[in-house]
Structure 1
Amino acid sequence: METNNNTVNKVTVNIYNEEYVVRGNENPEYMQMLGAYVDRRMRMIAQRNHNLSTNKVAVLTALNLADELNKLQEDYDQLIKKLEEEKKK
């Protein structure tokens, strides 16, 4: 969550009924949006798995987000490779 901005912002976000103070160089609205996104994802997983502890919901959410990130990175890498191949033609 870092940019070239040297201003450190402090935002309180509510994730899965817990408050967290987040500090970062990003604008407060962006940090709030990230917190809300994590909260939504945790609630979606908890709805499908009613008996999970908060820790397990958090870990499953992290795994789901890591999976999404990895797939996006693979797609990005493939696109960059295709663009580089097109440049060579």
Structure 2
Amino acid sequence: MREENEKRRTTVTINGQKYVISGRTDVGHIIEVANLVDKKMKEMRNANPYLDKMQLAVLAAVNISDEYLRLKKQVEKERLKKDGEK
């Protein structure tokens, strides 16, 4: 039986390339993250078919980071609003 803090190795495919990701995170979460990255890279490749793999990866990372920061700011704004109502 695996201990909760034991590292797990999970093989995922992103942009047609296999990667082994090692970590203590739930395997389902790792797969979900990999699927999100793969989906974003496919979107970027469809919109910009001339990009090489490195450009595609950076553009996908920038887009994912933008989405993350927008959501983070939105959550913080809602938290401050909620705290102000108390």
Q: Same fold (TM over 0.5)?
A: yes
SS in 2 for 1:23: strand
- Equivalent residue letter for 2:70: K
Map of 2:51 onto structure 1: 52
Deviations for 1:30-81, whole angstroms, at most 9, x for unmatched residues?
1111111110110110011111001001000000011001101110110110
Which one-letter code corresponds to 1:16 in the other structure?
A: N
Deviations 1:9-43 (A, max 9, x none): 11011000111111111111211111111101101
Question: Partner letter of residue 7 of structure 2?
Answer: V
- Quick one: distance in 2 between partners of 1:74 and 1:36? 24
Indicate the percent of aligned positions where both proteins have the same amino acid: 28
**Unaligned regions of 5+ residues in structure 1, if any?**
none
SS in 1 for 2:5: coil
TM-score (structure 1 length as normaliser): 0.88
Is residue 65 of structure 2 the alignment partner of residue 63 of structure 1? no
**Matching of residue 35 in structure 1 with residue 45 in structure 2:** no
Flag structure 2 segments of 5+ consecutive residues without an equivalent.
none
User: In the alignment, which residue of structure 2 is the partner of 1:19?
Assistant: 18
State the superposition RMSD in angstroms. 0.9
Q: Which secondary structure does the structure 1 equivalent of 2:19 belong to?
A: strand
Q: Within 1, Cα distance between the matches of 2:62 and 2:35?
A: 17
Partners of 1:54 and 1:64 in 2: CA distance:
15
Q: Distance in 1 between matches of 2:24 and 2:9?
A: 9
